[in-house]
Amino acid sequence: MTFFLALGMQAQHIEEKLYNAGLENVQVKVERDTIKVFFEHREFRNSFHSMEYANLLLADEEFDGKILVYIPLYHNTPIGSYTAGDFDFKALNKDDRKFYKAENNPFKDYRFHFRLNPDIAARFGYYDHPFETKINLILDTRIYLAPGLSLQTGINIPIENSLDNQDKSLRMAPTMLHYFTQPLPGHFIGVSAGSFYSDRYGLDVQYRYARLDSPWSFGLESGITGYHWQNAGKFYTRDLSDLYAIADVEFRLPFDDLSIRLSAGQFLFEDVGARADLIRQYGVVDIGLYGSVTEIGSTLGFQFAFSLFPGNILRGKKLELRTTEEFRWEYSYNNEEPVAKKYRLGMPRLADMLRQYNSVFGK
Amino acid sequence: MFQGNVPMGCFLKVLPLNLTPCIFNNLRAGLTSFMDVNLSIAHRPLLSDKIGVGDRQLDFRFRLLKEARFRPSVVLGITPPGSVSPVLSHDYLVATKNINTSIGTFRITGGYGTPYLIMRRNDKHNFWQELKLEEKAEFRSGNNYLIGFFGGITYLPVDFGGVMIEYNTTTINAGAFVKLWDWLHLQAYAYEGKKAAFTIAANSPLNFKPNTLRKHEKSLE
């Protein structure tokens, strides 16, 4: 009896310790020879940095010879289990899912996040206006409504605009309902409905098969979207008629945290073609090169993504103000014709997110 | 762009001190252990109303050989073909060897830049049909920078600075540089004793950890 009481107290102690350091929805499952710690950590982009952080926070805990295992959550959904230390990956078992289902509390165990997220568009090279930019600061949040279901919304504060004729009044930031789930181990589904970045609104569905201990992954991305514009306090939308559907295969090279991704299908603006990406993951930063060939044309470009400094700004028991965990920028050599264009959702796409959980990356 | 096995990123700014300055901004990153990617933007403030922010270029450096005791390092620099206006384009092979002596290190560099480039005509719609071979010197109206053999010697009496002299196929230049910190390097150049330029370079490892994690690690020390 006292033994179980002690275990219960330790579980609660771990939950509090990690929660106070910024981790959320921390659930501790004590088994005969393992201690499994479920957590979500929205401040870091790379899940292995979060686990490294948890390792340090729990360094002086006694586990009585039990093995410590982490089960990171993304958008309120468990991804897989990783042994602390060597980050050995195992898919979730039925018992883990059942435990999480019973303990998961999407309302209570999260802070209310305010996230600062700059939205920058630029066009270079016109002789009369060489450097046209549009800079908005987005202050947004994600509220969990039910398991895996969240609402992302916020305000968009225009700062500078020499790019187009949109006025500088306060706007609604991209606002969408998002559902993320892993119905079977390795099968991930993300569905978003609402207004997105890149002036699009509509429905977006993503599926990805990614066993996180395998170098291969496959995905389908599709959406039906329309043009969406806010100006002078008014909403303006065009028909929901642009079909986007691409399939891709990705392979992780056995060195330098490099991945190669080939995508083909119908991109935004009904542009049929293919795109090849080479992506290097450094941890906080990703840098990628790409080339695409479509009906509209061909281009080369690069992209990078990184967490904005400093990360956490203010944190209380129930509130947090932080900078975005992922700022992404893509530059294409021909920056006028929309070759192999995608729209940005306002959250990383499944391929970009799951790449951060591949167990080889943590080693 | 690698220090040992640490992938590095670098921001470089070249500020010339002459009447028609061309400011070079470079962002360079070690994308793989054998390949660097470099983005440069050449900005001519006095001509900005005519040419805008200037010419942007992506180029690559491949490390073909690592330096060893009796072997120089060999690097291949390539500008991908396909620019409409490849004024900064260069393709070269360069070897570097460091020789340590009792009075400091001598770094000897020698290389060759190709006289041809592949550029793009702006009149076809298929990327591959638009490409054509062109002589660099002709396209750049007589500017022979990095066309043919070039070389230089750098002398580092201390590990935080040194002096250099180089021939870049058009001019003989001399310079001095100092590493203020590991992440900040300053350089001053004189082109044939006529023009001068300053370079400031900020270096950072790209595999850094998030701020919160670094702070926490520090608090444990």
What pLDDT shows up at residue A139?
A: 96
Strands (E), chain B: 2-3, 6-16, 23-32, 35-43, 55-65, 73-78, 92-101, 104-113, 116-120, 131-135, 148-158, 161-167, 172-181, 184-191, 195-205
- Chain B residue closest to A294 (CA)? B126
Nearest to B201 by CA among B69, B11, B52: B11
Residues 6+ positions from A181 with CB-CB distance below 8 Å? A77, A148, A188, A189
Q: Which ranges constitute the DSSP H helices of A94-225?
A: 94-103
Is the pLDDT assigned to residue A95 strictly greater than 60? yes
> Are the Cβ atoms of A284 and B7 closer than 8 angstroms?
no
Q: Which residues of A touch B (CB under 8 A)?
A: 21-22, 43-46, 49, 52-53, 56-57, 124-131, 255-256, 258, 278, 280, 282-285, 287, 289, 293, 297-298, 300, 302, 307, 309-312, 333
Q: Let me know: does A229 contact A166? Beta carbons within 8 Å.
A: yes
The boundaries of the domain holding residue B186 are: 2-220
Average pLDDT over residues A45-56: 95
- Reported as a single tens digit per residue, the pLDDT across A333-348 is 775 678 888 999 999 9
Least confident range of A287-301, A304-318, B186-200: B186-200
Residue A73 pLDDT class (50, 70, 90 cuts): very high
- Reported as a single tens digit per residue, the pLDDT across A39-50 is 999 999 999 999
Residue in B80, B126, B211 closest to A309 by CB: B211
> Are the Cβ atoms of B33 and A278 closer than 8 angstroms?
no
Total number of domains constituting chain B: 1
For residue B107, the domain's CATH number is: 2.40.160.40
Residue in A56, A128, A131 closest to B216 by CB: A56
Q: What is the pLDDT along chain B (221 residues), one digit of tens a residue?
A: 445 567 787 787 777 665 455 677 788 888 888 888 888 776 665 554 444 445 677 888 999 999 998 899 999 998 877 666 666 677 889 999 999 999 999 999 999 988 877 776 666 566 666 667 777 766 665 566 677 888 999 999 998 999 999 887 778 888 899 999 888 889 888 877 677 888 888 888 888 999 999 999 999 88
What pLDDT shows up at residue B48?
A: 47
The residue assigned the tokens 């066309």 is B147
What pLDDT shows up at residue A34?
A: 93
HEC assignment per residue over B158-190: ECCEEEEEEECCCCEEEEEEEEEECCEEEEEEE
DSSP state of B208: P
Q: How distant is the Cα of A1 from the closest Cα of chain B, in angstroms?
A: 36
- Chain A residue closest to B57 (CA)? A333
Ordered structural domains, chain A, with CATH: 2-103 (3.30.300), 116-357 (2.40.160)
DSSP state of A107: T
What pLDDT shows up at residue A164?
A: 83
Residue A231 pLDDT class (50, 70, 90 cuts): confident
- Burial environment of residue B49 by CB neighbours within 10 A (0 to 12, 13 to 18, 19 or more): exposed
> Are the Cβ atoms of B31 and A45 closer than 8 angstroms?
no
Three-state DSSP state, A232: coil
Contact residues on chain A for B126, CB-CB shorter than 8 A: 298
ipTM over 0.90: no
H/E run at residue A133: strand A131-146
> Are the Cβ atoms of A287 and B82 closer than 8 angstroms?
no
Backbone angles phi, psi at B217, to 5 degrees: -60, -40
CA distances from A206 to A193, A200, A357 (A): 12, 16, 17
> Are the Cβ atoms of B212 and A43 closer than 8 angstroms?
yes
What pLDDT shows up at residue A320?
A: 96
Nearest to A288 by CA among A303, A268, A267, A310: A303
- The mean pLDDT value of chain A amounts to 91
**A216: number of Cβ within 10 Å:** 11
Chain A and chain B share a number of CB contacts under 8 A equal to: 93
- Reported as a single tens digit per residue, the pLDDT across A157-200 is 999 888 888 888 899 999 999 999 999 999 999 999 999 998 99
The residue assigned the tokens 């929309």 is A338
Q: Which residues of B touch A (CB under 8 A)?
A: 7, 9, 29, 31-33, 37, 39, 48-53, 56, 58, 80, 82-83, 125-127, 206-213, 216-217, 220
> Are the Cβ atoms of A280 and B32 closer than 8 angstroms?
yes
Task: Show the tokens assigned to A190.
Answer: 């993300």
Is the pLDDT assigned to residue A317 strictly greater than 80? yes
What pLDDT shows up at residue A157?
A: 94
Query: Which of B1, B10, B27, B31 should one mutate to test binding to chain A, selecting the residue with the greatest count of A CBs within 10 A?
Result: B31
- Reported as a single tens digit per residue, the pLDDT across B163-197 is 999 887 778 888 899 999 888 889 888 877 677 88
Residue A125 pLDDT class (50, 70, 90 cuts): low
